[in-house]
Amino acid sequence: MTDSKYFSTTKKGEIFEMKAELNSDKKEKKKEAVKKVIASMTVGKDVSALFPDVVNCMQTDNLELKKLVYLYLMNYAKSQPDMAIMAVNTFVKDCEDSNPLIRALAVRTMGCIRVDKITEYLCEPLRKCLKDEDPYVRKTAAVCVAKLHDINAQLVEDQGFLDLLKDLLSDSNPMVVANAVAAISEIMESSPTAAQVLELNTSTTNKLLTALNECTEWGQVFILDAISNSTPKEEREAQSICERVTPRLAHANAAVVLSAVRVVMKLMEMLEQTGDYYTTLLKKLSPPLVTLLSAEPEIQYVALRNINLIVQKRPEILKNEMKVFFVKYNDPIYVKLEKLDIMIRLTNPGNIAQVLAELKEYATEVDVDFVRKSVRAIGRCAIKVEQAAERCVSTLLDLIQTKVNYVVQEAIVVIKDIFRKYPNKYESIIATLCENLDTLDEPEARASMIWIIGEYAERIDNADELLESFLEGFQDENPQVQLQLLTAIVKLFLKRPTDTQELVQQVLSLATQDSDNPDLRDRGYIYWRLLSTDPAAAKEVVLAEKPLISEETDLIEPTLLDELICHIASLASVYHKPPSAFVEGKSGLRRVLPPRSQSGNVDEANVTAEVPQQQQPTVIPGADSLIGDLLDMDLGGPSMQQMYPPSVPTSQTPIQSSVAMDLLGEGLDSLLGPSTLGGDVLGGLGDIFGMPQSQSYVPPQEVWLPANKGKGLEIMGTFARKQNQIFMEITFTNKAMQNMGDFAIQFNKNSFGLMPAQPLHIRTPLPPNQSGSTSLPLSTNGPVQKMDPLTSLQVAVKNNIDVFYLSCLVPLHVMFVEDGEMDKRVFLATWKDIPSQNEVQFTINNVQHNGDTVSQKLRNNNIFTIAKRNVEGQDMLYQSLKLTNGIWVLAELKIQPGNPNFTLSLKGRAMDVYSGIHGAYETVLHN
């Protein structure tokens, strides 16, 4: 007789059938029916329709039936809140039952029913149960407080349940204490106000320590975690806690062991680092950690991630345990990779021989990922242990001889690092490396090889040929390889200028003209300019001595490490990230290690150093992420980053790239003058300057003065921006019967101080029925008076007949100046700086362009896109512009794919210009 029989009916009327059975008079049949319902529920079938029928079975003295009904209630009460109310009376009655099991069951089930109406009725029974004479009921009630807090935190705080819960910490029964601790930890996690009420003090810590020995293993985990979150006041107290916690290190439950490790690791910081007790503790920590590694692989994995932290913080603990990290061929891959990482951390001159032998063994395994990491590990050993570098290099050479493609590529990547660490030592192997040139197909390996060739160009006779061979497919290469190739060839040129001129010109033109990667172009231009203006400086910059790479490149930054040590055994320790970085709703408390004790006494102010996380709602991505975006394109991974010493100008920061533009801008002619590369280059340059003047949008001329009002003179005009200047394009048409002449023009005071920069030149006399046009350059140095609308301009035109007054609107975009591109950091700072009430949103309807065209179009009109970001499928363009009078305006343009309506948010100090700018966007984007 098995439960699978409950699934045997597949007929249509299944629910109907169950309903009938539930209403049966026979107890036995009823119970079977409820079981059938539960079985269907377990596999995710919807049996909520049976709610009233099942609830009817609740009033029973049969405990099994009661429990089954409760199971059902917990699952479906949420979807049928009104029905659930029917059950309340039974619950309340059960809370008074003489059997503690039933009392506990009732309060427990009520807590699981997440329906507000029921929760109201829960408070009284819960209060009673928290003070019940039976510890089983109390311990269940403690958890129920946490449940209630999750449903309605305010209610729990208002009803004083927190204090009742805190009282349970002093309960005589350890199981009750443990559950109270568990409930408190969960509540503290989500509510900072509760955290203040529930803060542990020394005397509660002592009570917890007493309960620790007697409660279940699970309770021990809660208690240990709670203890690790409080910081004792002085060294003696810390030591006594350690003494009482260390027996837990020998527990069979891995979770208990690791939680105990956390407490000890944290408190050790407070102990005298030279004391005997400290040394004893160090010795005591090693065996339990090693033991965790003979547990199931899942436990091993968590243990290994934690050991990785522990080894970085206190390498002494496991320094003699290298062998337990040796990899077995049938370990799961996640265990293998972690073990490998720790092996490297533990490597020292004493055990390097063994480690190398192991690594070499691993490099012949089948799992590609693992083999790659093993080869890298050999390189890391070489960098870490100088004495062994030679052995590592020869091991790597052996591996290269295997000709296994991915092994060779990894080997070359790490050899590059070895060269950086030990210059002028192992260059003899370059010849061997060069033999494998053709087999390299991964960007990182190619880039590494090219770096090696460039760096040691003077020792490689055919360096030029080698690099030239790479150059053939330049356009198809990964940007990482392109950048390396560019740098390498420039290095080669500086070392052997005589025969490589052609090569360097080729690569420079490839980089600057044919590439659409701005980093590559920027770097190309910088080299170009450096080479053409000051070859000596170029030599100093490009061939500068590089700082040696550090021994350990992947150590966790110390403050983060300290924080993570406080989170040993938690998810944070597995991800090596502070919980605030990934746990939702985590209140922003940062844990810090207790300050080291020098004198034994600790300044109290420092102990509670909980730094609230700064959470500023920002519309703009952080500066880091913007820069990061740019870097991503260039650099493959963390290890690649070492390749670019800071002294070599790379496009690492956007600041540099904008500087590069200025550099080029000013000295452009001198660079281009003697250049043999014709005018073609200009096109390329124009591109990066982003000022193809003719492309700026010029609205069509409109009639400013109709002939009937101008005594036969019709004036049409518009405004344009060309060559960094505003022009008034004006056409006079003579519709009178006589010649016109003596034209002159004058502006009234206006918002932007526009005035003619030169007198009006027009062919005179203007015969009847003829037109004369001119472009009148305007300056912005005239008298200023704020107009309404802002862009309105009053003009007086005189001819030999009369003086005419006309008024026109200057399209605001002609006021946008060419140097309106704000530096990214300044932009960020400014954006934050401007109060948010200055932000105004506009909608721009029906734009039929994508983000790229949009930014190009806007750029043509001196609205500069500074950064682009994709947020949940939307393109966000961050833009800046500057008006002739020096007013900066920042903008954020939100573009949703498929939606022709863009959202424009403007932010600036002067809000008057907003509507004009909105107008300018409209004009530009719709033309």
Partner 1 sequence: MIHSFFIINNTGDVFMEKHWKSVINKSICDYFFEEQSKCASVDDVPPIIVTPHHYLINIYKNQLYFVAVVTTEVPPLFVTEFLHRAVEIFTDYFQECTETSLKDNYVIVYELLDEMLDNGFPLAMEANILKELIKPPNFLRTITDTVTGKSTGVSGTLPTGQLSNVPWRRTGVKYTNNEAYFDVIEEIDAIIDKSGSTVIAEITGYVDCLVKLSGMPDLTLSFINPRLLDDVSFHPCIRFKRWESERVLSFVPPDGNFRLISYHIASNNTVAIPIQLRHNILYREGSAGKFDVQISPKQTMGKTVENVVLECTFPKSVLNVTLTPTQGKYSFDPVGKVMTWDVGRIEPSKYPGIKGNISLQTGAPIPEANPPLTLHFSISQLALSGLKVNRLDMYGEKYKPFKGVKYLTKAGKFQVRT
Site for partner 1 in 186-245 (CB under 8 A): 186, 189-190, 213-214, 216-218, 221, 225
Identify whether the C-beta of residue 398 lies closer than 8 Å to the C-beta of residue 360: yes
Which residue number, 19 or 31, has a Cβ lying nearer to partner 1? Answer: 31
Residues 395-414 interacting with partner 1 (rule: CB under 8 A)? 402, 404
Which residue number, 253 or 838, has a Cβ lying nearer to partner 1? Answer: 253
Please state, in angstroms and rounded to a whole number, the distance separating the CA atoms of residues 152 and 174: 28
Q: How far is the CB of 446 from partner 1 (least distance, A)?
A: 24
Q: How far is the CB of 70 from partner 1 (least distance, A)?
A: 9
**In whole angstroms, how far apart are CA 362 and each of 262, 386, 392, 813?**
32, 22, 14, 65
DSSP, residue by residue, 133-153: SSHHHHHHHHHHHHHHHHH-H
Binding to partner 1 by residue 570, rule CB under 8 A? yes
Contact window for partner 1 (CB under 8 A) among 504-512, 540-548, 576-584, 899-907: 576-584
Q: What is the largest CA-CA distance in the chain?
A: 118
Contact window for partner 1 (CB under 8 A) among 11-19, 32-40, 891-899, 916-924: 32-40
Binding to partner 1 by residue 709, rule CB under 8 A? no
Q: How far is the CB of 169 from partner 1 (least distance, A)?
A: 16
The 3-state secondary structure of 870-892, one letter per residue:
EECCEEEEEEEEEECCCCEEEEE
Which residue number, 63 or 537, has a Cβ lying nearer to partner 1? Answer: 63
Closest of 281, 282, 204, 215 to residue 253, by C-alpha = 215
Binding to partner 1 by residue 121, rule CB under 8 A? no
Binds partner 1 by CB under 8 A, chosen from 56, 81, 92, 114:
114
3-state secondary structure at position 793: strand
Which residue number, 263 or 467, has a Cβ lying nearer to partner 1? Answer: 263
Binds partner 1 by CB under 8 A, chosen from 392, 564, 572, 867:
572
Which residue number, 101 or 561, has a Cβ lying nearer to partner 1? Answer: 101
Binding to partner 1 by residue 38, rule CB under 8 A? yes
Instruction: State how beta strands 864-871 and 840-844 pair.
Output: unpaired
Please state, in angstroms and rounded to a whole number, the distance separating the CA atoms of residues 897 and 251: 57
Residues 336-365 interacting with partner 1 (rule: CB under 8 A)? 357-358, 361, 364-365
Residue 114, phi then psi, degrees to nearest 5: -90, 60
Please state, in angstroms and rounded to a whole number, the distance separating the CA atoms of residues 97 and 138: 15
Residues 72-91 interacting with partner 1 (rule: CB under 8 A)? 75, 78
Binds partner 1 by CB under 8 A, chosen from 49, 250, 431, 871:
250
Q: Which residues of 593-624 are buried (b: 16+ CB within 10 A; e: fewer)?
A: bbeebeeeebeeeebeeeeeeeeeeeebbebe
Residues 265-294 interacting with partner 1 (rule: CB under 8 A)? 287-288, 290-291, 294
Identify whether the C-beta of residue 912 lies closer than 8 Å to the C-beta of residue 889: no
Binding to partner 1 by residue 720, rule CB under 8 A? no
Binding to partner 1 by residue 323, rule CB under 8 A? yes
Q: How far is the CB of 69 from partner 1 (least distance, A)?
A: 12
Contact window for partner 1 (CB under 8 A) among 500-508, 584-592, 619-627, 633-641: 584-592
Please state, in angstroms and rounded to a whole number, the distance separating the CA atoms of residues 317 and 325: 14
DSSP, residue by residue, 445-476: HHHHHHHHHHHTGGG-TTHHHHHHHHHTTGGG
Binding to partner 1 by residue 700, rule CB under 8 A? no
Q: How far is the CB of 750 from partner 1 (least distance, A)?
A: 55
Please state, in angstroms and rounded to a whole number, the distance separating the CA atoms of residues 229 and 235: 16
Identify whether the C-beta of residue 622 lies closer than 8 Å to the C-beta of residue 609: no
Instruction: State how beta strands 840-844 and 902-908 pair.
Output: antiparallel
Which residue number, 75 or 792, has a Cβ lying nearer to partner 1? Answer: 75
Contact window for partner 1 (CB under 8 A) among 446-454, 579-587, 681-689, 806-814: 579-587
Q: How far is the CB of 100 from partner 1 (least distance, A)?
A: 5
Identify whether the C-beta of residue 293 lies closer than 8 Å to the C-beta of residue 324: yes
Which residue number, 190 or 532, has a Cβ lying nearer to partner 1? Answer: 190
Binds partner 1 by CB under 8 A, chosen from 68, 635, 881, 917:
68
- The answer to whether the Cα torsion of 369, 374, 379, 381 is positive or negative is positive
Binds partner 1 by CB under 8 A, chosen from 276, 476, 584, 788:
584
Binding to partner 1 by residue 119, rule CB under 8 A? no
3-state secondary structure at position 530: helix
Identify whether the C-beta of residue 724 lies closer than 8 Å to the C-beta of residue 818: yes
Binding to partner 1 by residue 377, rule CB under 8 A? no
Please state, in angstroms and rounded to a whole number, the distance separating the CA atoms of residues 254 and 250: 9
Q: How far is the CB of 473 from partner 1 (least distance, A)?
A: 28
Which residue number, 136 or 456, has a Cβ lying nearer to partner 1? Answer: 136
Binding to partner 1 by residue 95, rule CB under 8 A? no
Identify whether the C-beta of residue 470 lies closer than 8 Å to the C-beta of residue 455: no
Query: Which residues, in sequence order, are CB contacts of 543 under 8 Å at separation 6+?
Result: 491, 494, 495
Binds partner 1 by CB under 8 A, chosen from 83, 85, 88, 112:
112
Residue 46 corresponds to which tokens in the numbers above? 């919807």
Binding to partner 1 by residue 571, rule CB under 8 A? yes
Please state, in angstroms and rounded to a whole number, the distance separating the CA atoms of residues 253 and 420: 46
Binds partner 1 by CB under 8 A, chosen from 15, 39, 92, 829:
39
Q: How far is the CB of 252 from partner 1 (least distance, A)?
A: 4
- The answer to whether the Cα torsion of 769, 771, 772, 776 is positive or negative is positive
**In whole angstroms, how far apart are CA 880 and each of 341, 603, 877?**
46, 49, 10
Query: Which residues, in sequence order, are CB contacts of 21 under 8 Å at separation 6+?
Result: 29, 30, 32, 33, 36
Residues 868-897 interacting with partner 1 (rule: CB under 8 A)? none
Contact window for partner 1 (CB under 8 A) among 332-340, 539-547, 549-557, 619-627: 332-340
Residue 14 corresponds to which tokens in the numbers above? 């299944």
Q: How far is the CB of 238 from partner 1 (least distance, A)?
A: 20
Binding to partner 1 by residue 923, rule CB under 8 A? no
Binds partner 1 by CB under 8 A, chosen from 233, 251, 496, 576:
251
Residues 135-194 interacting with partner 1 (rule: CB under 8 A)? 135-136, 139-140, 143-144, 146-147, 150, 173, 175, 179, 182-183, 186, 189-190
Please give the size of the binding site for partner 1, defined by CB under 8 A: 108
Q: How far is the CB of 631 from partner 1 (least distance, A)?
A: 24
The distance from CA 79 to its chain's CA centroid, rounded to whole angstroms, is 38
Which residue number, 555 or 571, has a Cβ lying nearer to partner 1? Answer: 571
Binds partner 1 by CB under 8 A, chosen from 19, 108, 345, 591:
108
Please state, in angstroms and rounded to a whole number, the distance separating the CA atoms of residues 428 and 450: 16
Binding to partner 1 by residue 43, rule CB under 8 A? yes
Which residue number, 360 or 539, has a Cβ lying nearer to partner 1? Answer: 360
Binding to partner 1 by residue 611, rule CB under 8 A? no
Binding to partner 1 by residue 299, rule CB under 8 A? yes
Strand partners, 893: 877, 904
Binding to partner 1 by residue 671, rule CB under 8 A? no
Which residue number, 43 or 605, has a Cβ lying nearer to partner 1? Answer: 43
Binding to partner 1 by residue 67, rule CB under 8 A? yes
Residue 217 CA neighbour count, 13 Å, CB half: 10
Q: How far is the CB of 624 from partner 1 (least distance, A)?
A: 22
Binding to partner 1 by residue 247, rule CB under 8 A? yes
Please state, in angstroms and rounded to a whole number, the distance separating the CA atoms of residues 490 and 467: 11
Q: How far is the CB of 417 from partner 1 (least distance, A)?
A: 25
